Homo-oligomer: A and B are copies of this chain.
Amino acid sequence: MSQSPSLAVTRHPPIRDQIAAILRNAIVNLDFTPGQVLVERDLCERTGASRPSVREALRQLEAEGLVESRNGRGTIVRVLTPREVDDLYEVRAQLEGFATRLFSTRATPDQRRKLHEALTELERATTSGADRSPRILAAQNIFYGTLFEGAGNPLLEQVIQGLQVRVAQLRATTLTAPGRAEQSYREFVQIVDAVDAGDEAEAERVAVEHVRNAARVMSDVVAAGPAEG
């Protein structure tokens, strides 16, 4: 074990990855709005990195589908057409349903316990005060994370999380629909109930239904007002 004494634990994550993480976060949080041009020198100044590093990060995000490179005219935050949003939700429904099914058969007791904890926090968040959206989103993320991890297929988890990131910009919107947060919470309860009952078919069904409902709400919201105030 010539391994050095675990001191240098975090051996500098590459700068490009740090930048990618920062930008990913900014896009998801709508600090950068869809369609916005990402000027490289700008990003350099903000992050303190050089252009090569920034560009490598952008290539990574491009492959993830978060940004789009317009040949010669720079990189912009990806704008999703309604059609693409539908496609995204369709794939999500399928994969998240599948993951939920796998969870119900493969998850360890520990993972099942964590799922319950996540559900509890989700309830608290949903019944909390005025500006509850961020807390609900955070709780949902933990719930989803636990669910997908417990499916026992890291690749599946990675693919799904990739899709989740791409719709993350929209999730906040969905929650603004009146009653959606409560409805959503009820659906999460259904998922956990089915999982607890060991009914994998039902677990998959409700998970699929959950995504479809979200898609429906999303369509309605978008149809009502495409732009934000």
Contact = CB atoms under 8 A, between A and B. Distances in A.
A52 interface: yes
Contacts of A14: 69, 71
A159 interface: yes
- This chain's copy number in the assembly: 2
Interface string A137-175: 000000000000000011110010000000000000000
Nearest to A157: B87
Contact of A60 (B11, B13, B62): B62
Interface stretch (A26-34, A89-97, A114-122): A89-97
A161 B59 CA distance: 19
Interface SS of A by simple majority: helix
Contact of A156 (B69, B71, B91): B91
B94 A98 contact: yes
Contact of A95 (B11, B64, B95): B95
Contacts of A156: 87, 90-91
A94 B95 CA distance: 8
Interface in A45-100: 52, 55-57, 59-60, 62-64, 69, 71-72, 84, 87-88, 90-91, 94-95, 98
Contact of A55 (B52, B62, B64, B159): B52
A205 interface: no
Contact of A88 (B13, B87, B91, B155): B155
A16 interface: yes
A155 B63 contact: no
Given A59-B63, A63-B63, A91-B159, 17 more contacts: A11-B71, A12-B71, A16-B59, A56-B56, A59-B59, A59-B60, A60-B63, A87-B153, A87-B155, A88-B155, A90-B155, A91-B95, A91-B153, A91-B155, A94-B98, A95-B95, A159-B159
